[in-house]
Amino acid sequence: MSYFPASLVSMTTETNEKKPLHGRVCLVAGATRGAGRGIAVQLGAAGATVYVTGRTTREKVSEVGRATETIEETAELVTAAGGEGIAVPTDHLEQDQVRALIDRIDRERGRLDVLVNDTWGGEHLLVFGKKTWENDLDGGLRMLELGIRTHVITSHTALPLLIRNPGGLVVELTDGTTEYNGTRFRENLFYDLAKNAPLRMAFGLGKEVEEYGATAVALTPGWLRSEQMLAAFGVTEENWRDAVEKIPGFAVAESPAYVGRAVAALAADPDVHRWNGQSLSSGGLAKEYGFTDTDGSRPDAWGFMFADEKGDPDVNDYR
């Protein structure tokens, strides 16, 4: 099944040279699973060369503790989709490893067109229902390292290569839009900080890269049907709707391919700079670019959550 945006799907059956991102070099930092994997595969479907990084390989499992998804598998999916996937084991907290990664991309390709900062892996540390001083401090600080420090190290190291050629795109992945997060507490201070920082990073980086003809944005999926989320609900991608009976709001959940389509659409847009510094969502971009999720729907999870705070919305109006 093709996960490429519906508006451009016909191009995926053309020769590689006719695909919209043919010749483009992308780095998806944190592409082991979830949104990162979905984004990498969609960039590949558009014909891009995609370097995929993460800490879980077929030989080593990260602290997340999931051996079922690896960066090698993600790279293979990228290639199978029509691009070229290259797996590079990288801990984005280790500056030397990130520097070696960017040096390799420069040496092998001589350019970087798209940087996607999707490093995270802090779900196992997240505890709700406790005050800041009641939470484990080491766990909270680790979330800040995983969700903020990794992004800063990667952008600091990769941007000199990205701005070498005009038209570069930086995508800071997070959870929540500026509109939503700006007026709501995400119920855990460490998580709140980790997911607000990429929004501010996109704004600041947009100011810094603008003179080089580059664009920086923040992007959030909605309620993501990641491998971890599906496992937590005891369902699979094939029968995910079985979880809706227990959690009605899950009806607006989206596959990782949906946010992947959003990034592919942004990367292929010659007028992408109009979004510079802004906070975007997969559901909002679906309306703009005309792509759909894998089932043909256009879920708008953030629109649903706004409406849910005010009343009892019909979930079908947001899918």
Q: Tell me what the mean pLDDT of segment 262-284 comes to.
A: 98
- Per-residue pLDDT tens for 32-73? 999 999 999 999 999 999 999 999 999 999 999 999 999 999
What is the structure's pLDDT at 173?
98
Cα 119 to Cα 54: distance, rounded to the nearest angstrom: 8
Domain spans of the chain, in order of start: 6-228+256-298
Higher pLDDT, 236 or 11: 236
The angle subtended at Cα 269 by Cα 178 and Cα 284, nearest 5°, is 35
- Per-residue pLDDT tens for 180-234? 999 999 999 999 999 999 999 999 999 999 999 999 999 999 999 999 999 999 9
- Above 70 in pLDDT, residue 6? no
212 catalytic residue (yes or no): no
Q: 6-228+256-298 maps to which CATH number?
A: 3.40.50.720
Kindly state the helix (H) or strand (E) to which residue 84 belongs, with its residue range. Answer: strand 84-89
Cα 291 to Cα 59: distance, rounded to the nearest angstrom: 37
Query: Which residue is catalytic, options 3, 51, 180, 191?
Result: 191
Cα 85 to Cα 82: distance, rounded to the nearest angstrom: 9
Burial status of residue 298 (CB atoms within 10 A of its CB: 0-12, 13-18, 19 or more)? middle
What is the structure's pLDDT at 15?
64
Which range has highest mean pLDDT (3-12, 59-68, 274-283)? 274-283
Do residues 311 and 27 touch, judged by C-beta distance below 8 A?
Answer: no
- Above 60 in pLDDT, residue 11? no
Cα 243 to Cα 236: distance, rounded to the nearest angstrom: 10
What is the structure's pLDDT at 309?
86
Helix 34-45 and helix 71-81, axial crossing angle in degrees, nearest 10: 30
Closest CA to 291 of 53, 20, 78: 20
* 248-to-44, 189, 221, 292, 313 alpha-carbon distances in Å: 33, 27, 18, 21, 11
- Above 60 in pLDDT, residue 10? no
Please give the mean pLDDT across all residues of the chain.
Answer: 93
**Radius of gyration (C-alpha) of the chain in whole angstroms:** 18
pTM summary value: 0.94
pLDDT-derived band of residue 312, with 50, 70 and 90 as boundaries?
confident
What is the structure's pLDDT at 3?
35
Cα 232 to Cα 228: distance, rounded to the nearest angstrom: 6
